[in-house]
Amino acid sequence: MGKGIYVTSYEVIDDGVAVAAKHYAEIDAARRSYWEFAKSKGAKGFRPTDTGVRSLLVAPSEVPVGWRSVGSDRGLTEIVPRRTTRVGKEALEEIRALPRSPTDSDLADLFGWNPPELPLDGYRIYFPTSVRISLPADRYFLRLPRFANDGWPGDPRLKEIPESTLMLAIEGHNARLPKEAA
């Protein structure tokens, strides 16, 4: 890690749980709308951006008019709208109209994390990350990059935890997931 930058793990507690649950409900709703859009175009999947849809994945023989291929993945063709056709322009407008999916930075901002400058060292930029654990019960965690002297007092709805506590929660969640048939 960079000099003067460290990452701190927090569990969301008390009234903050409702804030985090609402944040993740918005993410889930946005992703459902992305899937509905993809299915409406005959796609079998989509590539997300950090807040929306970047491209669709279709069978190679099903590239619709007004779209162009930009690659392939596991036997599917990745397509994006052509910006020079009426159909492509309409598809771009549909994509732009989709709801924006909130980011981990948005959640961190709800808890007052807003550093005076971007946490970066000479090689890396540090962003907040969040984790939602669903099994055995819903729990929410934030990992925030911090400066040694940033003066952020924290939020009483965040409880600082050791990284090992977060990893144990993740492992406990994973152990309860149904195992895929081999």
Q: What would the pLDDT profile of 46-105 be if each residue is shown by its tens digit?
A: 999 888 999 999 999 889 999 999 999 899 999 999 999 999 999 999 999 999 999 999
Give this prediction's pTM. 0.85
Q: Domain count of the chain?
A: 2
106 and 153 part of one domain: yes
Is residue 116 located within the same domain as residue 166? yes
If asked whether residues 108 and 89 sit together in one domain, one would say no
List the domain range (segments joined by +) for residue 47.
Answer: 35-97
Please indicate, yes or no, whether residues 40 and 20 belong to a single structural domain of this protein: no
State the DSSP code for 65. T
CA distance 91 to 68: 12
pLDDT at 120: 79
> Does residue 172 share a domain with residue 109?
yes
Residue 29 located in a structural domain:
no
Is 107 found in the same domain as 20?
Answer: yes
| Residues 108, 161 share a domain | yes
Residue 178: helix, strand or coil by DSSP?
coil
Cα distances (Å, whole numbers) of residue 70 to 38, 67, 77, 81, 179: 16, 10, 8, 10, 34
Among 130, 136, 138, 127, which Cα is nearest to 18's? 138
Are 127 and 63 within one domain? Answer: no
